[in-house]
Amino acid sequence: MELNTVQVIKSFENRFAAQHIQRPLRVERYDAGDLITYEVALIAPSGKQETIQVSLLIERFVGGGFAGQVYKIKVLSIGSENSPFHVGGTYALKIFIPPSRGALLFRNLLYGIGFQGPFQIQCNPDAARAGALWQKFIRRAAALHFKDEYAVNDVHGILIDHTLGSCGEISNWVEGRTWRLEVDNYVDILTRWEKGEAIEDDALGSPEYRAKKKFLQDLVSLLHEMGAHEFARQYEWSTWKSQPNALKRLESDDEPDCGLTAVDFRAGLTLLPFLPMSPGDIKLILQGIKQGSLVQFDRGKVNTLEAYVKNHQADFADISPLLEELKTCENIYRNSIPDITHNHFRLLYDRNLYSTMAHSAITGWEVRNLIDQTAKEKLLTNKLFFAFFLFIGLIPFIGPIIRRILGRQDYRSHYARLIYDIPYLKRTLLAVRIENIIRWIRAGRITEEKSEKIYTSFLHYSYHLFLSFFSAQIHRFFSDRPYFIETLYSVMIKPLRLYFNAALREEWLKSMVEEGEQMQLVSKEDVRKILSQIQEPFIHKYLKSLAVHVIMSPATRVISVGIAILYLVNHPEISAWEAFAIAAGIIAFFQIIPISPGSLARGLYVLFVVIKERNLKDYSIALTLSFFKYIGYFSFPIQMTYRYPTLARCMVGFWTTKMVRAVPVFGEAGALLEHKIFTIFYNWPLTIRRKVWERRDRRETQKIRVWHTVPISIFFGILSGYGEYLYASITGFAPTFFYILPIILILGLLSGILINIGSGGASSLKRVSYAVIGGFGIGIINAAVPVFMADQITLAVALLSDVAWKSFILVIFSAMGAILMEFKV
């Protein structure tokens, strides 16, 4: 966050304080420059629970997910000389409450369903400490297993953040990154390796990707061996979201096969048996049921860990006292919630269980700032008050308000004054407006300049309050005129300017590369190399073509919507539901077909450039890929690999990363989806190019064959045409368009594949040409057979109509079948 933004937020926090509201400001997260002091309960090898005071500076907000929010911090002062912290040292602070209200609600809902209680690592210090103790043992075991003491990050202490109302932890700060998107034109061999085939390392690409996968697989096996079964869920490759939990240390940046550190052992979402949320969750659910854990979060088997420590007694000698503390914390943690899937019938008779749940509930309310010291003492001594306080909170909306009134003196005074003190009510409403403004600034919904208008104008505030129910982009688009104009300019005007303005193209490329460096897609050396090439003629030619691709991008949507409207206008007799279904079907059809009007326009432009410059070599890949939907957007970055591989990797990585960010949960930076998209749109085309060249070399020794096109066309034409004739003879009606269409599509693809297979030493272009001729022949024969079989020669007009539309579709899909065979890996 920029310094000016932080200053504006601080000014609004001061304005809130100036309203003299008797409740505190609602804080969702901290900003860079905030000073905080914590009482930190250290994780000491001796097993003694020593608490020290630590003052720290928030250097930056790193990010937040379901498990909590992470900060990079600097320690300013320490209340004890005997501590793992160093003054001026950099560490990581994680507070176990999400910065997003939506994420908090969803996380707590799943946890409540699974365990019938509040999220324990947020509000139960023993639960938070148990996880940290597990990590201590895992760190030691991983150091022995991987022969790297930094294989698992070290956690130093547990704390309670009374401002946010949550437990947290301080651990080492790891200077690292997720992974670098690697260029690999041997993805076919990598796929075989991932399936378990033994392949020499020299024949494989993507060394960093393979190293991380093996590291995570080995770590998961180790965790299961130690009894940390549900901690292993954080590193299961098949969940598609575990990959960012292990960072590549920058100190080993040039060594792709080492330097990985597991940094996150705190689960965010509960795994319910009826709600798998990733491809790998089904396997994990079955594993959990087998181990007697129907609902999974962070449970481990302490007995298994104890046996593991005994088997490696010499290696764990210095931290073995922590095992008894872990047993104590685990016992309190597991008995702090009903958890019917694990406690079973104990809930019917075990008084110790109920006593622990009651004490942990009171501690949790205190941590979450729901009660003050007076209310805590009353809850501990008055069982009736405790029961009322417990159950009143279960009532939606009104329950939390009643809890605040019962639990805290400041909120009692606050709500009382709202009733009888009109000036105080006005100041409170202004204070609520300030809180919303702060939240909107942090979320990027409003600018610092706009915030002042919202603060001074109730009308502006009301409008923004309505927009706050929509996404941040929609909120800003309809409330920020410069952003509105900039968005329209970027979509409608900028691509045209990029085509004609060389300076603007260079500026655009520079900004993309700089952002790519910040996203760690490229190194500083890569950036220097790219910027040194920025004025080369071919760079500008490729960038101009990219601008054309952007201009053409709305074409398919416009045409599909236009055709849908035209169809509905010409068919007023159909019902509203049928009209909606047909219109949706037309639009969906244009979205799923591999070659669309927009991609066809892109391809024709590239063909025009090739003819104009009489240069196929430098446009060969782009010419092929541009005709295809979706992947066509990446055709020129892939083509640039031939001359500018570093720039090409940066551009595809940049757009891939931007694309996946829109996907909830799985779109996190460094997650598997990001790598898969990059592989599909960049590495697979390179692999296909390699296979095409290999096939081209083999075909040079073979004889060209073309005669097989005729029997294939005749066979498919007669077969399909006679089928239509039989259908009409049996039913008395000619088959409808939607009945024939799937058959025509299949015939087209199949004929193109067979014609390609039988073409011997013919080049790729000739194979596609043969398939086009074959598809056209099938269309003629298919349309002619039913007419001649019925002896209805007079239906010449109908025959011509059938030939036209059937041949058109068959030609396209026959060519596609032939092209698909050329792309076969």
The structural domains of the chain, with segments of one domain joined by +, span 32-173+301-347, 502-660, 709-822
* Alpha-carbon span 149 to 227, nearest angstrom: 20
| Residues whose CB falls within 8 Å of the CB of residue 309, separated by 6 or more in sequence, listed in order | 137, 316, 320, 323
Residues 1/31, Cβ–Cβ less than 8 Å: yes
Task: Report pLDDT for 130.
Answer: 97
Q: What is the DSSP letter of 42?
A: E
Q: For domain 32-173+301-347, which CATH number applies: 3.30.200, 3.30.2310, 1.20.144, 3.30.1360?
A: 3.30.200
Kindly state the tokens that stand for 438: 């702060």
- Positive or negative, the CA dihedral 579, 584, 587, 589 is negative
- R_g (Cα) of the chain, nearest Å: 33
User: Between 415 and 490, where is the model more confident?
Assistant: 415
CB 367 within 8 A of CB 123: yes
Task: State pLDDT tens for residues 323-334.
Answer: 999 999 999 999
| For residue 792, pLDDT beyond 70 | no
Q: Cβ(586)–Cβ(571) under 8 Å?
A: no
Core vs surface per residue 63-83: b (16+ CB within 10 A) or e = ebbbbbbbbbbebeebeeeeb
Q: With 50 as the cut, is the pLDDT of residue 340 above it?
A: yes
Q: Cβ distance 167 to 160 under 8 Å?
A: yes
What integer best gives the mean pLDDT of the chain? Answer: 88
Number of other residues whose CB lies within 10 A of the CB of residue 423? 8
The lowest-confidence range among 391-400, 567-576, 812-821 is 567-576
d(CA 189, CA 825): 10
Sign (positive/negative) of CA torsion 416, 419, 421, 422?
Answer: positive
Per the CB < 8 A criterion, the answer to whether 336 and 357 are in contact is yes
Please compute the mean of the pLDDT values over residues 183-201 and round it to a whole number.
90
What pLDDT score was predicted for residue 214?
Answer: 96
Q: Under a CB-based contact definition with an 8 Å cutoff, are residues 40 and 84 in contact?
A: no
| pLDDT digit string, tens, across residues 539-586 | 887 888 777 877 777 777 788 888 888 877 777 777 878 777 877 887
By CB atoms closer than 10 A (0-12, 13-18, 19+), residue 298 is: buried
In this structure, which long-range contacts are made by residues 270-277, counting pairs with CB atoms below 8 Å and at least 24 apart in sequence? Answer: 270/110, 270/111, 270/113, 270/114, 270/115, 270/295, 270/296, 270/297, 271/114, 271/233, 271/295, 271/296, 271/297, 272/110, 272/113, 272/114, 275/110, 277/665
Tell me the per-residue pLDDT of 691-703, one tens digit each, with 9 for 90 and over.
Answer: 888 888 888 888 9
Question: What is the C-alpha separation between 565 and 586, in angstroms, rounded?
Answer: 10
Question: What's the start-to-end Cα distance of the chain, in Å?
Answer: 46
Give the DSSP H or E segment for 646: helix 645-660
- Cβ distance 821 to 753 under 8 Å? yes
pLDDT of residue 503: 87
Close Cβ partners of 387 (under 8 Å, ≥ 6 residues apart): none
pLDDT tens-digit map of 238-257? 999 999 999 999 999 888 88
Under the banding of pLDDT at 50, 70 and 90, the label for residue 802 is low
3-state secondary structure of 51: strand
CB neighbour list of residue 606: distance below 8 Å, 6 or more residues apart: 545, 619, 622, 623, 626, 635
Contact 333, 120 (CB under 8 A): yes
Express each pLDDT in 48-60 by its tens digit: 778 999 999 999 9
The answer, yes or no, to whether residue 790 has pLDDT greater than 70, is: no
Residue matched to tokens 């219109």: 583
Q: In the prediction, which pLDDT does 789 show?
A: 67
pLDDT, residue 794, reads 46
